[in-house]
Amino acid sequence: MTRVTVLAGGVGGARFTRGLLQQLAAEDARVAANAPISALEGEFSGNSAQGSEHTSDTSTATGTGTASDVTVIVNTGDDMWLDGLRICPDLDTVMYTLGGGISEEQGWGRAEESRRTSAEIAAYGRGWSWFTLGDLDLATHIVRTDLLRNGATLSAATEFLCRRWQPGARLLPMSDQFVETHVRLATDADEHRAGDLIHFEEWWVRYRAGKPVTEFVQVGLADAVAAPGVIEAIRTADLVILPPSNPVVSVGTILAIPGIREALRTTTARVVGIAPIIAGAAVRGMADACLTTIGVETSALAVGLHYGSRAADGVLDAWLVDETDAAAVPALEAAGIRAAAVPLWMTDVAATARIAAEALRIAESIPALAPANTAGTGTATTTPTGTGTTPAAAGSIDGLPVIEFAFPGPLRDQLVAAVLNGTKTSTTATLAAYEVENEPMPVVGGRQVMIDSAGQPVAIVETTGFCLARVGDVDLEHARDEGEGFESVAAWRAAHEEMWHSARSRAQLGDPGFTATDDTVVVLERLRVVMRLPAS
């Protein structure tokens, strides 16, 4: 059985996942029947009239149980409030496509739709004339909004909606917090002025991405965390796929959620991407306008290099390009990304299933990866955090790594007590300490065992957020949340520099002259206690 996690946008991600489910179903059936692939091609390849991209029949994908092993993490950066309802375009496109209710002609929205309600809303002078919602589609938005306003998370609301559609895969929003992508206009546009932020959907649908913009802004990103199950789905997968979705505002927005990029970089799964660009043009939509805005060329090679190799701080192990872009393969390989040129046009389900098969095939050609030393993966690790750092004690509880604060002694016990009583919810370490210990960055949702000066486990703590910052940019809120009574950034800095400049810390770094400056990079981690252990 193969556990696959897909990071998807709307139409492209949805259609690819449908082909993936069909391919996995065919492979499972072949294994179960101990039969060669050719014996089952007629049944599962989608060559019949019911197997085209324009069919809503997903029975072959869901009939074998394979779909339960596929998780789709969906972009919610296109979400918005409209007419009092919470609209989630990409989630709904994936759900309808996999559940058999999509309008195949459009690629989004419901089949056999009417728009009487939107016409009535327009008659009242409300709504957006360029973004009308169908009557059947409105039912989904009404139910979702009702659930949200009664206290459900977006994850829970999505799970509820999927009970009706039975998409054959687990659908997870990238975050339960509302994150909306906006664009900053470079010129005036109707009632908008240059420099204004407008919702991405207005730029995309109303202006067809034809108005120049200077940047994409994810409003709400600072307060967002990965939705429950997202990090785990990446960590525990056998294969993670970046399908042919918009690399800037779909997959790019998912990767911007704290913890997701790091989980992708440290997972033991192979990570395979599929180019959304063929022969220098976007397969669908106006992705070229998005790429131009961030300074990336519209080519399969440039997008692959934009994602980057995992061996060089990127996220890819392999990248599939179309046959017309075969010349890009050597450059991708030279950049540390396994590459292959194969047909990438998703003309129907059968063709899409073949693309999925190529993704599975190239993943199998990549050597197995060793488990990463990251919180919550079951690997004991040293975690250089706290006002000062020291190698963590050996051993773990239930496979969790160990976290220590400062060196053994009164300061550590003071910090441990502050964590236990809730006054310490943040901690700081130099990036240099992470590099010396060859440790990965914290992972949001990752759990560690906190030990005291005697080396006794006292609690399990969970990382709730992290970021990299210059020492000179650390703010008072973080300083106060360290729980050591700092009432100014200057006091916070003096205490930390005293520890970082100590002979013991410098020896740990292997740098007797280490000196923190405004530009020294530090890791700011937020945490909470999830369980006190009996020893505490």
Sheet holding 4-8, edge to edge: 170-173, 70-74, 4-8, 239-242, 270-274, 318-321, 338-341
Contact assessment for residue 274 and residue 16, using Cβ atoms and an 8 Å cutoff: yes
- pLDDT band of 165, cuts 50, 70, 90: very high
423 exposure class (CB count in 10 Å sphere: 0-12, 13-18, 19+): middle
What is the reported pLDDT for 63? 35
Contact assessment for residue 8 and residue 245, using Cβ atoms and an 8 Å cutoff: yes
d(CA 429, CA 304): 33
CA distances from 24 to 36, 98, 164 (A): 14, 14, 23
Contact assessment for residue 457 and residue 448, using Cβ atoms and an 8 Å cutoff: no
pLDDT over 70 at 139, yes or no: yes
Instruction: Give the three-class secondary structure for 181.
Output: strand
What is the reported pLDDT for 369? 63
d(CA 24, CA 27): 5
What is the reported pLDDT for 134? 93
What is the reported pLDDT for 155? 95
Question: pLDDT over 70 for what percent of the chain?
Answer: 87
Question: pLDDT over 90 for what percent of the chain?
Answer: 64
Amino acid sitting at position 108: W
What is the reported pLDDT for 466? 81
pLDDT (tens digit per residue) in 384-431: 334 433 333 333 455 678 888 888 888 888 999 999 988 999 999 998
Regarding beta strands 170-173 and 180-185, do their DSSP bridges make them parallel or antiparallel, or are they unpaired? unpaired
Q: Which of 148-157, 204-213, 364-373 has the lowest mean pLDDT?
A: 364-373
What is the reported pLDDT for 517? 93
pLDDT (tens digit per residue) in 502-536: 988 898 888 999 999 998 989 899 999 888 887 54
233, 237, 241, 246 alpha-carbon torsion, rounded to 10°: 10
What is the reported pLDDT for 447? 85
pLDDT (tens digit per residue) in 451-463: 988 888 988 898 9
Cα 493 off chain centre by: 33
Q: Which of 53-57, 136-140, 192-196, 351-355 has the lowest mean pLDDT?
A: 53-57
422 exposure class (CB count in 10 Å sphere: 0-12, 13-18, 19+): exposed
The pTM for the full model equals 0.66
Averaged pLDDT, 48-68: 36
pLDDT (tens digit per residue) in 189-242: 999 999 999 999 999 999 999 999 999 999 999 999 999 999 999 999 999 999
End-to-end Cα separation, the chain, in angstroms? 42
Q: Which helix (H) or strand (E) holds 147?
A: helix 135-149
d(CA 177, CA 9): 17
What is the reported pLDDT for 399? 64
Averaged pLDDT, 273-300: 94
Averaged pLDDT, 303-331: 95
Q: Which residues contact 216 (CB under 8 A, 6 or more apart)?
A: 181, 182, 183, 200, 248, 249, 290, 293, 294
Contact assessment for residue 254 and residue 7, using Cβ atoms and an 8 Å cutoff: yes
- pLDDT band of 299, cuts 50, 70, 90: very high
- pLDDT band of 66, cuts 50, 70, 90: very low
Q: Which of 28-37, 108-117, 394-403, 438-447 has the lowest mean pLDDT?
A: 394-403
d(CA 320, CA 340): 5
CA distances from 342 to 42, 189, 351, 356 (A): 22, 41, 11, 11
10: left (phi over 0), alpha (psi -120 to 50) or beta: alpha
Q: What rounded mean pLDDT belongs to the chain?
A: 86
pLDDT over 50 at 284, yes or no: yes
Instruction: Give the three-class secondary structure for 7.
Output: strand
DSSP class of residue 227 equals P
Provide the b/e sequence for 160-177 (b: ≥16 CB within 10 Å). ebbeebebbbbbbbbbbb
d(CA 274, CA 16): 10
What is the reported pLDDT for 456? 87
Give the count of beta carbons closer than 10 Å to the beta carbon of residue 279.
Answer: 12
